[in-house]
Amino acid sequence: MPPHQLTPHQVRWARRWMTIVLIGLFIFAIGVEPDLIGMDRSPVVGFVQVGVWLTGLAILLLGAYATVRVVRNHRPNSLLADIGLRLIATGYVVSATASLADFIGLGAQRIPNVSFGPIQIIGLLVGVLLCLLGLVLYWPTREKQDAKRRRWRFPRIMLSRISWWDRSSAEQDVEDTDDE
């Protein structure tokens, strides 16, 4: 079995984590659009609604990270993988900051009449796209080093076993190669 092939146990764990990703996506969608389940009770975006979609996004990202970690199968982290992990975390921070901007005093509206403005929507989208880019960078790459080594490797030369004390084995090797 190749060293990076997944075992059936690892495949089951990857499927479990992907189920968590789908649950997180469902919670995120409910937070963004609560009318999907008939819970839209206010024309403004409330703190609970923002908390629900941030919780859904966090569950989604943790499940995606765990899935990719299982798929990586104990490969060492490359520089791209480390950058990807940091981009996932940075994207979540950007999403949380943009979503909570009015509540923490960075937005244009004040607490009683909070509306989720276009700049906050752009911030949330940029954060989610950063997370997606981080997951793509964290995904394991194919092994290309073997192909590079094969391309630049010198050809092997098969030398016959000639020794100064045994000329008969050298003559036998020459006869064997002539027969082929």
- Give the distance, in angstroms, between the CA of residue 42 and the centroid of all CA atoms in the same chain: 36
Distance between CA atoms of residues 61 and 131, nearest Å = 8
Q: Which amino acid is at 100?
A: L
| Residue 141 CA to its chain's centroid (Å) | 10
b/e per residue, 24-37, with b = 16+ CB within 10 A? bbebbebbbebeee
Q: Report the alpha-carbon distance of residue 45 to residue 22 in Å, rounded.
A: 24
Question: What count of residues does the chain have?
Answer: 180
Instruction: Please give the average pLDDT of every successive group of 10 residues along the chain, which has 180 residues.
Output: 72 92 94 83 78 94 93 86 94 92 74 76 93 92 59 54 53 54
Q: How far is CA 78 from CA 5, 51, 82, 133, 142, in A?
A: 19, 34, 6, 16, 12
81 vs 68, 70, 128, CA distance in Å? 11, 14, 18
Tokens 């389940």 belong to which residue? 37
Which residues have a Cβ under 8 Å from the Cβ of 27 and sit 6 or more positions away?
Answer: 52, 53, 55, 56, 59, 60
User: Residue 77 has what pLDDT?
Assistant: 84
pLDDT computed for residue 153 by the predictor:
54
Q: What is the pLDDT of residue 62?
A: 95
Q: Are 15 and 8 in contact (CB under 8 A)?
A: no
List, in sequence order, the alpha helices (H) in the chain. 8-32, 47-72, 79-99, 118-138, 145-152, 167-179
pLDDT of res. 1: 40
What pLDDT score was predicted for residue 156?
A: 56
pTM score? 0.71
Predicted pLDDT of residue 158: 53
